Structure 1
Amino acid sequence: MIQTVQQSLLIIAVIAFGTLLTRALPFILFPDSNKTPAYILYLGKTLPFAAIGLLIVYCLKNVSPLAAPYGIPEAIAIGAIVLLHLKLNNTLLSIGGGTVLYMLLVQLAFG
């Protein structure tokens, strides 16, 4: 479906407004003059771990231990991520290194 210039501009304006609103809303709801509510502090401490757990489950949902390659590349990459994080204590480097290792394993060793 081809859109007119006015339709395209309206879509861009709505998306820009939505983006601006989502960026400004926390500052509007929780100004510096007020104390941050306890439940927001709680969510700030627990949600990152929940998000990582959700990503792990999502990434491993289609891995079958009964079909080749039996989840071996995933297990090796997860082990590398854990070891890198324990040794270097750098989340970005751990995830990046594990991702690169996984892609190499899938493309070269188990492809």
Structure 2
Amino acid sequence: MPDSVPGAGYVLGALVVMFVVTVALRAAPFFALSVLRDSPLVAFLGRTMPAGVMLILVMYTLRDVDATTWLPATIGLAGTVAMHLWRRNAALSTVVGTALYLVASALWG
């Protein structure tokens, strides 16, 4: 064999390192969750993240609104707000608002 081909020990060592790193990365979220379960910061983020995500989506949608795209953006935003006030479900509100925005963009955009 040429000298550029690594030996079996090298390959086995690399595989062991990859295995250990992969298992550690997959176990890390569960370890972090057990440590942070009673954290006030995690509780705060759990309460505020849905509203924060919605705010970011609204800002992203409205960032390039001009004279030709204001109607689809307004329809999508109104649909999102109405669905959220009716069902109080952030995921459903996001999906419905996005769908309304896309349909309105296809029709009037």
TM-score (ref. length: structure 1): 0.60
Cα distance in 2 for partners of 1:24, 1:48 equals: 26
Any conservation in 2 of the 1:77–1:98 contact (CA below 8 Å)? yes
* Map of 2:48 onto structure 1: 46
* Map of 1:90 onto structure 2: 89
Structure with bigger helix share is: 2
Of 24, 27, 35, the match for 1:24? 27
TM-superposed deviation, 1:97? 2.2
TM-superposed deviation, 1:30? 4.3
Higher relative contact order (CA 8 A, sep 6+): 2
* Map of 1:100 onto structure 2: 99
Any conservation in 2 of the 1:30–1:36 contact (CA below 8 Å)? no
Name the larger-Rg structure.
2
The one-letter amino acid paired with 1:28 is F
CA-based RMSD: 3.2
In the alignment, structure 1 segments of 5+ residues that lack a partner are 1-9
Any conservation in 2 of the 1:82–1:94 contact (CA below 8 Å)? yes
Any conservation in 1 of the 2:76–2:100 contact (CA below 8 Å)? yes
Any conservation in 2 of the 1:81–1:98 contact (CA below 8 Å)? yes
Give the % identical residues: 32
